[in-house]
Structure 1
């Protein structure tokens, strides 16, 4: 385990395996030289930094990387697959939690709930009421990435009686929402854009200045995907210039560092990447990390391998 994970994960793995906590080693390089050749499984999260060839080279016996999170852009899954290393993630168990947060962040951003809270706490209410906010009424919602989390967001928003459209790699024939071939077209057709796509090179800065311009001066951006999906420089410029109305952000490009220019803006709601951060959901994610490792070494098959690992054969348990 290169970096700390929840205590329940550490305890469960330590009960089943010889668990080496790399962050506790006084000399990580020396440890990897001596113990690295014997390591067969890796429990990873974003705190571990990039998991790629530079680490794989030092772990020649590695068979599986169990990643804590549905997103796994912190792991070079393609390189892992080329080496016969299975990568797993934690899909399903966090979909509903992230969707709840996305809708909450949208409402907080549109109705300016944190700003109203500050108005009261700072004693400004006796001097005058909080200004009237924008509304969700009459807004058209665009979802960028209609996977499991995107669909969960859409189901919730159906209850708000707002029209929903989406963009993804392809049209989904069983989905009744309007489909747009690209993100610019989706943004032009909507006044709220919710990003729920995976991170990685394919989606880096897919929401850029052109998309924000198409979203327009009444537009609101919500990002619960990855910070890399949004061109933060373009977003800051759009917020400062009034190109869009506001933004709600749970993720940032260089977490935990947040651009200083965002902090004083009155038209943003900023959260410290808490999309799946409830105790119940994080415990379920951690259990899936444990279950993937146990299944691989006991039964020869991982439970939730990522697509890049689809062609890696089962491990022989004979």
Structure 2
């Protein structure tokens, strides 16, 4: 019987993981270091492993699935079932070369991430951190100033995938107009009444710019000093995707100059370290990467990983393969 390897932990779907023992020998690497994991690989402990369950959290144990780690993985490995919508810590091109299929959990995270995106957007528009901090410091309003309403504003969405579309759906309830830019235009059914524009048009027309795209070599620092210059004065930036999509030093400069009025951020370039200029700016709403941190979403993500794993072993195909490997 082939094996499956769990790296890290399963919190909400342990019963479903254990149920896979009817078709797989279950192995686990619950804790340890990258060196421990590589040693286990070299010693042949995983030589019958066909599928791996790993997550963004388990990267703390093994480090990224980069060329070095991929070269140590057993020849038997066919599937990497990843828990997370983002998978920039996996060398997908390297996996493809080795004939390893990769899945992620895009659908399961859509609602929770969009909810946090809207929370950050409203918080940034109202510059809510100022009164929040003042109240707890016993200063009532403190330095609170007038904020802005979302109604009638243009929400520009860079990356109109599942999360981006959920952001659009919620923003329409606030009376916002939706502009978006994608690598390719959506079908009329998915697009709805959103307006497809070029990247430069998106920068120029957005009152609020929300980043909802994957991080890869072509999107790193897709928003930097040149892009900020093309935006409206007083624009609001929201990022719930990956921190490195933005040049954070350029964002600090744009905030300091007033080009960017405020920002709502859940992700950072060098997590858990946050650029000091963002921490020090009371006009910025900051969250510590909690976009998917709800019980329901975490459980749904774990279940989707296990569904991918079961489908891979039983049918030879993934339910939610990463876009780079879709046929």
Give the TM-score, by structure 1 length.
Answer: 0.89
Whole-Å separation in 1 of the counterparts to 2:214 and 2:83:
14
Gap change, CA 1:128 and 1:78, over 3 Å in 2: closer
- After superposition, residues 149-228 of structure 1 pair within 5 angstroms as 149-174=163-188, 175=191, 176-182=193-199, 184-228=200-244
Whole-Å separation in 1 of the counterparts to 2:247 and 2:326:
32
Which residue of structure 1 aligns with residue 56 of structure 2? 46
Q: Which runs of 5+ in 1 are unaligned?
A: 312-318
**Pick from 100, 105, 123: which aligns with 1:85?**
100
Give the TM-score, by structure 2 length.
Answer: 0.87
Gap change, CA 1:290 and 1:242, over 3 Å in 2: same
Gap change, CA 1:30 and 1:172, over 3 Å in 2: closer
* 2:44 counterpart of 1:13: no
Q: Which runs of 5+ in 2 are unaligned?
A: none
More strand by share: 2
Which residue of structure 1 aligns with residue 318 of structure 2? 302
Work out whether residues 10 and 302 of structure 2, in 8 Å CA contact, stay in contact via their aligned partners in 1.
yes
Gap change, CA 1:291 and 1:245, over 3 Å in 2: same
Q: Shift of the alpha carbon at 1:300?
A: 2.6
Q: Give CA-to-partner distance per residue, 1:219-274, whole Å, 9 cap, x none.
A: 10000111121111111111122221111111111212211221111110111111
Q: Report the aligned-residue RMSD.
A: 2.2
Whole-Å separation in 2 of the counterparts to 1:192 and 1:309:
32
For residue 240 of structure 1, give the secondary structure of its aligned residue in structure 2. helix
Equivalent pairs, count? 309
Which residue of structure 1 aligns with residue 268 of structure 2? 252
Gap change, CA 1:61 and 1:178, over 3 Å in 2: same
Work out whether residues 13 and 19 of structure 1, in 8 Å CA contact, stay in contact via their aligned partners in 2.
no
Gap change, CA 1:73 and 1:256, over 3 Å in 2: same
For residue 79 of structure 1, give the secondary structure of its aligned residue in structure 2. helix
Q: Shift of the alpha carbon at 1:138?
A: 3.7
Whole-Å separation in 2 of the counterparts to 1:233 and 1:128:
28
**Pick from 55, 60, 64: which aligns with 2:69?**
55
Work out whether residues 12 and 298 of structure 2, in 8 Å CA contact, stay in contact via their aligned partners in 1.
no
- After superposition, residues 236-247 of structure 1 pair within 5 angstroms as 236-247=252-263
Deviation beyond 6 Å, 4+ runs, structure 1:
none
Q: Shift of the alpha carbon at 1:39?
A: 2.7
Whole-Å separation in 2 of the counterparts to 1:87 and 1:219:
37
Which residue of structure 1 aligns with residue 127 of structure 2? 112
